[in-house]
Every structure is written in structure tokens, then in C-alpha cells.
Amino acid sequence: MTQTDQVLVTGGSGFIASNCIAGLLKRGYRVKTSLRSLNRIAEVKQLLSVAGVTDFDRLHFVQADLSDETAWKSAAEGCRYVIHPASPTPNFIAKHEDEYIVPAVNGVLYVLRAAKAAGVERVVLTSAFGAICYGTDKHTPYTEEDWTDLSKDIPAYQKSKTLSEKAAWEYVNNEGKGLELAVVNPVGVLGPVLGADYSHSIQFIYQMLNGQIKGVPKIKSVYVDVRDVADLHVMAMTDPKANGERFLATSGEAISLLDIANMLRSELGEKAAKVPKREIPSWILRIIGLFNPTVKLILPHLGMIKDASHAKATRLLGWHPRSNREAVIATAKSLISLGLVK
């Protein structure tokens, strides 16, 4: 790194993006970050303050949107690297899958074309475990060699992440030759929240602590701490061995939502008094999902056990993530300290 190295981080208000920005600033990089509206600058600075950033002199904001290609070329100018976490997130109920797919795929191509035109050295794309594990049922941990099977009935968000990552690889292998690409595929992202805008994976912990659910769905998933995800992005950005590779960001063995609930109660005592102690039968949720669009979103996950390995990131880059327990408890304590738990 030199003092002139600048990184564009897209979607600066996002959970992963804001942690990437904080990590880059602490390491001495200059950072540009894009926002759909510059009215959110104060909000993003507040998020970064919670993450421990005290000096904003090396941070610059630009206005850019995934639905419009025009602003991305100037956003990428002067940058050596680009980290691209911005993408439609599964916090809304789409009327059609294209509400996820079109901006995700177009956004990736807009950013890659802009990076190529600006002479950027490497782009790190934030993809997802959803681009790896859907449409198949493995009894061994998923790895970076696996891809979601788009011939199956895939939820819109996971389909958008798969198609946008495939579009990225196709671009750099053809008209984008010479532009380096690395991809990070996070599983469910937990870890300390910086404000009210955080990963959808944290919603269950929020609901448990606030007593909004009396039981948890039978879902067993893999998780990772957002701080480790941010570190992996920076490693993938700078390590020569990361070029042309994808990396699963996961802390280890899959755990159930009931496991998470038990961790919360054992660690937080009275502060976890509202956390449920039982699982809800899946057949009940499937009936509720016929009438409740929010519950309907989780139905494809019921009964699934999707495990994943971080062996590649550890072997190639020396990445060592925190444990599930540490990520879960850090999530809960941050929600409580920020007053997000009633």
C-alpha cells in the first residue's frame, strides 16, 4: 500500500460496506464510497464512528445508483481497487424476481465497466452463499467449487446473487480482460451492528431479544462475523493469490436458530428473558406463510442444513474467522447497547 492508494466501496450505508470502509480507513487507505443520496452522509459517518473511526479526512462520498450507469465512471476514477458490496437486499418483498435480478446484474456490470475504464487494478465483488448452495442438497460442506442450480426453483434474492456473480466472471474473462476479480461469498452475516441498517441475518436475533417470536423455525445455517467478512475483502483485494478466486466467508459448522437462542440465554441472563425456548413445527409455518408474506420468505429454508467450509480462505490467505458463539453474542450486545432492544 502507498499513501495514494484509493478504494471505491459501493453502497457505503450497507452493513458489510460500512465495515469494509472502517477497516480500510484504519489501515490508512483513502476511500471513496457511493450513496444513492448524499443526504445520508451524516448517517454513514455515525455508523463509522460506532465502528471506531475518528478521522474522516481520507473519506470521500459520491452519488451513484445501481439503476444508472452514468455516475460510476467518475466514481471509479483515481481508485486502485474497488470493493462492490452494493446489491438489492432481501429486506423487501418483490412483486417480481426482476426487482432483485435486474439491478444486481446491471449494477455489477456498471461497476466493472467503470473500473476497467478507470484503470482499476482489482475488483472484489461481494456475492453470497446463495450463489453456491441452492438447488442442491449436499451431505458434505459446500465449497467454492459449488454453484447454485438455476434450473431449480430458486428464491429471487439467491437467484440475483448467482446471476450477478456469473455475469462478473463472464465480463472479466471476455471484454474485461486485464481487470482482476476476486469474489467473497458470505454466509449469514452476524456481528456488531453499527445502527438500524444491518444484515437481514440479524433479524432473528433482534426478534428473539424483543420477544417478537415465541418459537423459532427449524432452520440450520452457517454464519460469519461481519468484521471477518470485511477483513476477507481486504485480503482478497491485495493478496496476489486471490486474483481469479472466490472465497466462502463462514465461521464453521452450521448451527440452528434454537442453538442461537440457547447461546443468548446462557450468556445474557435476564437480558435474554424474552428469547424463545422451542422450535415451531414447519407445517404450522407453511400454513401461516399462505397468508403472511414475511413468513413466506423463510419457507424455502425450512428443514435445510447447509454447511460450508472456509478452508480455501484459510489456506490461501491466512484468514481465521471468529467462532459462531462470539459472532452471536457480539450481535446481541450491540443491539442492546444501541438501544435497539426494547
Reading phi first (left if > 0) and then psi (alpha if -120 to 50, else beta), residue 115 is in: alpha
Q: What is the DSSP string of 166-184?
A: HHHHHHHHTTTTT-EEEEE
Can you tell me the distance from the alpha carbon of 140 to that of 149, in angstroms, rounded to the nearest whole number?
17
Which helix (H) or strand (E) element contains residue 30?
strand 30-35
Can you tell me the distance from the alpha carbon of 331 to that of 84, in angstroms, rounded to the nearest whole number?
24
Type of residue at 100 = Y
Give catalytic residues, as residue numbers.
161
Can you tell me the distance from the alpha carbon of 263 to that of 261, in angstroms, rounded to the nearest whole number?
5
How many Cβ atoms are within 10 Å of 11's Cβ, its own excluded?
25
Q: What secondary structure letter does DSSP report for 82?
A: E
